[in-house]
Chains A and B, each alone.
Chain A
Amino acid sequence: MGDFNITVNGKTVPAVKGQTVLQAALAAGIDIPVFCWHPQLVPVGACRICLVEIEKFPKLQVACATPAADGMVVMTESPKVVKARQGVLEFILAHHPLDCPTCDKGGECDLQDVTFKYGLDYSRLQEPKHRNIVDENSTFDDLQIGPEIIRNQNRCIHCYRCTRIVDEACFEDDLGAYQRGYHTEILPPPHREIRNLYSGNVVEYCPVGALTNDDWRYKVRVWLTKQAKSVCTHCPDGCNLTHWTFHNKIFRATSRPNENIDRGFICDIGRYGYQQVASSDRLKQPMIKKNGELIEATWEEALNLIKTQVSELKSKLSGNAFFGLIGETSTNEEIYSFQRFLRRVIGTSHIDSRINRKRRLTFGEEVTSRAIAPDHVSYQDIDKADTFVVYASDLHSENPITALRIKRGVRYRDAKIIIINSRSTHLGVRTGATNLLHKPGTGLAVLTGIVDAAVSSTTFDKSAVGLSDQQISEFKQAHTELLLPKAAAMSGVGESDLRAVADSLVRSSNVVIFCGADFSRYPYRDEELLALDNLRRICKSAKLAVLPESSNSVGAELLGAYPNQYPGGKGSDAKSKFEDLWRGPLPDFSGKDMIGILEAINEDEIECGFIFNADPVRVFPDGNYADAVLEKLKLLVVVDSFMTETARLADVILPLSTFAETEGTRTNWEGRIQYTQSAIKPMFDSKPGCEILELLADRLGVSFGQGRPSEVYGELNKSLGDVLPVRYEMFKSEGAIYDRPKHQPKPGFNRVAYNAIPSDREYPNFLTVGNADHHRGPNTERNPSLLKFTGDPFVGLSEIDAKELMISDGDLVKVESRTGKVVGNARVIAELPGKVVFLPENFRELRPNLLMGLKEKFDHVKVTKM
């Protein structure tokens, strides 16, 4: 209950201290119209539509900015209020064009709704309407102010939600208000465009149709559409989306505010990332390879072919000659069905989902023996933390909404942020963070240097963090090469900076450490985790989060898409339990992982495979090797939505429905399991994953009778009740976090071994892989709206290297390594340090995995001008 009560329209309403009248009323279900107010923004009282009458106040007050006080008596619909609102509307409409018939907002416009409720049907003002003319020849005054965003200044009601969203919620700076009065214009700064990663939000939250986007422009009327609850699949943040559909086609995606995750703001990748569903390289029909060419076939033909070929191979070989790979964007139900299909029907344990070996989240002996594991971190922890450490991650492009939460903390709670990376990132630029920019591959030195700085400090209170003198001296002895002056020299980070960071970490009461993609790309992943754990030990309270690669990586880990793990993380002792559950014998517990599988194919031990929603040729580091090896298979069945590089090698292709057509659950990085509705019916001749897997199993003689995700989840619930205590239906309302096992790490510091990256004369540059602006991972390039932001694929070069090689923007350059080469246009990136070459991993034409040798530990490359 609240701190005190106020009376709204004769009803007693509880209010909390600090709440405004509006918030108290809304919480009690009393509606007050608003234009400029938004729950995530500071109230400004710009539009005056929320005027209410409060007893003892001589004049009407704005509900959105008046704090509630004990005993207030508020009237929201009294005649005085209604008349005032009429007046406000009359002024707003004085210069409003009433474009509704052509306006994209028509039908969901706050101004329409409020005018319909309170407005007069005439105006007493007779002067002509002010018109902001963009083009004399056109009656439409639209101006493109960003790659996707169109502004119509005439419709703007000057509520400043857009500029405040950009500033206060997205922490960007590319939209502002210029001029005054009704000449006010909403524009990006001179010579710039609005193109930040969250720019689509201004369109969603503009209360009128002044800001619209190309994506939804003049496509369909909003009242014709149906809405489906969905969850974004482009990154593990798991933002909630609404897909708006009409005639089995998706027309747009908007946010579906979830207090626990996105709070109503999503990034453009999620907003425009639905477009790939209708991409032209969707697989429309099953295909069969005949005489080296893929030709279209029916489901019946394809399934029969798989049946005869698999039975023939199985009669000759054991289950060990088969393998399965599944992509980590698949739903939990698909992942579970897939591993069950392989284990029970095919009889193999060679299953993996960690296609990109450079981004695996599993760690080696050393780490497991010390019982060190990432903590269970959630968004709520971000809200509580007062210091963030972002290690080896371009968080802004990898986990945009997580980055937004962090920025919120930095802005509103004065939290500190420390970024340790070998390249400068957007997050660091926008938050005024402490940036420790180190030489490539020296992250370990930075981490150990910080720990040393902390424990050597005279003010360090070791008992507060449970460390003993002996442990500290052991740490110093074990890391003589990585202690302070040496660490600073090695990494190129100033010694005083390391000390300052150590000092602020030790003082902080609540630290959250994030590590992302660049972390898992290094070959010293294990050592780095140990070093990060050391860092965790010098803080009073610290949590360590390792951000996974894909939207359901956590689910893949949980549901047994790994070779030496049954669903629920169960070990070999659970074999008989699963044999009972699946009513049949299971193969040996241990299987091969991704690298092992490719090796075994190369040595002709494995001859047949199933690849589900994954593209190893495109993402496995050493694409040439993956390509050559998969080519050798006797039978390759690819189940995918798109014509991928891997699908081209397949003998049989089965068309899979995309995320928009498939119902199911996914697990985000926190471990929150969320339910996605299917927005549209399967397009073309495609089928949802669970149905395909059931068909395959049935054809091969073992029917589970679980073609629907809810049925699969039912079994999951039964078999893994201890891990997944939530029923399927419950996800439909909101997600639930599953409890990850807690670890009890061994006391004392870990010993970290460090090997410097050897320099390479022939290939002097170091390859860094990341995301281009508005892209994430290999799946986003099928979205035309996102391509508008990036332009063509490029090779990023530092200014120093560009000057040395006499390369300027746009020149054609060749990037070579020992294993391969790619050719692309150069782009000089000011933030890159010397000797580092940046390649986006988002474009098919410029695949960085061609440059990565399987045998090479480091990615050394050479750039030449062509």
Chain B
Amino acid sequence: MFRVLKEVFIAIPKGMFVVFKQMFHKPVTVDYPFVKPPMAPRYRGLHFLERYDDGSERCVCCGLCAASCPADAIYMEPAETERGERYAKIYEINELRCIFCGFCEEACPEEAIFLGKEYEFASSHRDNFIYTKDDLLVKWPRTKPSEVKFLRPMRRVAWQQSEEGRPQH
């Protein structure tokens, strides 16, 4: 009996106090889709394939992304251009299998594949989640400046400049 009374007169008002207190706080949710929350700088969303500054594809279809992918989400078939260069004839990512770990980006020796900020790619059909090369390659000419910083041309410069980077011999 005493316990019931204690609940009614102490516990409930205590709980309601928390509720009322929250009414004067700023909400943590946002009014999605009219308002979008800011993304973490290292957020990993939908993949895209980058290009060189002359518009040619960076990907050479080496298969390392597919080899590193823990979800086996990437499929590709290489081919040769008329100039004897290797490129990806088919490059597909199954975004339903992908776990967005970013290993592919990590593995890529050509800095061709990146995980972007895009996350709105729901669909009502499974097949639509297989992203082909056309879907993944950035549009050319670019509609907006590239969001990625390429490390490759900078690497050499970096260790030439910093003393720590120099070999210790």
Contacts and interface: CB of A to CB of B under 8 A. Distances in A.
Contacts of B25: none
> Looking at chain B's contact residues, is the secondary structure mostly helix, strand, loop, or mixed?
loop
Interface string A128-155: 0000000101111010000000000000
Interface residues of B, number: 20
B115 to A, nearest CB: 19
A100 B108 CA distance: 12
Contact of B62 (A101, A124, A126, A138): A101
A219 B80 CA distance: 10
A120 B169 CA distance: 12
Contacts of A126: 160
> Looking at chain A's contact residues, is the secondary structure mostly helix, strand, loop, or mixed?
loop
Contacts of A100: 62, 109
B167 A135 contact: no
Interface of A: 100-102, 106, 120, 122, 124, 126, 135, 137-140, 142, 217-221, 223-224
Given A140-B85, A218-B80, A221-B67, A101 B110 contact: yes
Interface string B129-169: 00000000000000000000000000000011000010101
24 contacts: A100-B109, A101-B60, A101-B109, A101-B110, A102-B62, A102-B85, A120-B167, A122-B167, A124-B167, A126-B160, A135-B84, A137-B83, A138-B84, A138-B85, A139-B85, A140-B83, A140-B84, A140-B85, A217-B80, A218-B80, A218-B86, A220-B78, A221-B62, A221-B63
Interface in B56-78: 60-64, 67, 78
Contacts of A223: 63, 67
Nearest to A221: B63
A134 to B, nearest CB: 9
Contacts of B11: none
Given A101-B110, A124-B167, A218-B79, 11 more contacts: A101-B62, A122-B159, A135-B83, A138-B85, A140-B85, A142-B84, A220-B78, A221-B62, A221-B63, A221-B67, A224-B63
**Which has the most chain B C-beta neighbours within 10 Å: A100, A102, A106?**
A102
Contacts of A106: 62
A842 to B, nearest CB: 29
A124 B165 CA distance: 11
Given A218-B79, A221-B67, A102 B86 contact: yes
Contacts of A124: 167, 169
A124 to B, nearest CB: 6
Nearest to A138: B83
Nearest to A120: B167
Contacts of A219: 78
Interface in B109-140: 109-110
Contacts of A102: 60, 62, 85-86
Nearest to A222: B63
A219 B90 CA distance: 12
A221 B74 CA distance: 14
A341 to B, nearest CB: 43
A688 to B, nearest CB: 29
Contacts of B61: 218
Contacts of A220: 78
Nearest to B63: A221
A101 B152 CA distance: 14
Nearest to B80: A218
B143 to A, nearest CB: 27
Nearest to B78: A218
Contacts of B83: 135, 137-138, 140
B68 to A, nearest CB: 11
Contacts of B159: 122
Contacts of A140: 83-86
Contacts of A139: 85
A723 B110 CA distance: 60
Nearest to B108: A101
A163 B32 CA distance: 68
A93 to B, nearest CB: 14
Nearest to A106: B62
A102 B61 CA distance: 7
Nearest to A150: B84
A100 B63 CA distance: 11
A135 B86 CA distance: 15
A139 B83 CA distance: 8
A218 B160 CA distance: 35
A138 B87 CA distance: 13
A219 B83 CA distance: 17
B32 to A, nearest CB: 40
A126 B156 CA distance: 9
Contacts of A217: 80
A677 B159 CA distance: 52
A122 B160 CA distance: 11
Contacts of B109: 100-101
Contacts of B67: 221, 223
A128 to B, nearest CB: 11
A319 to B, nearest CB: 53
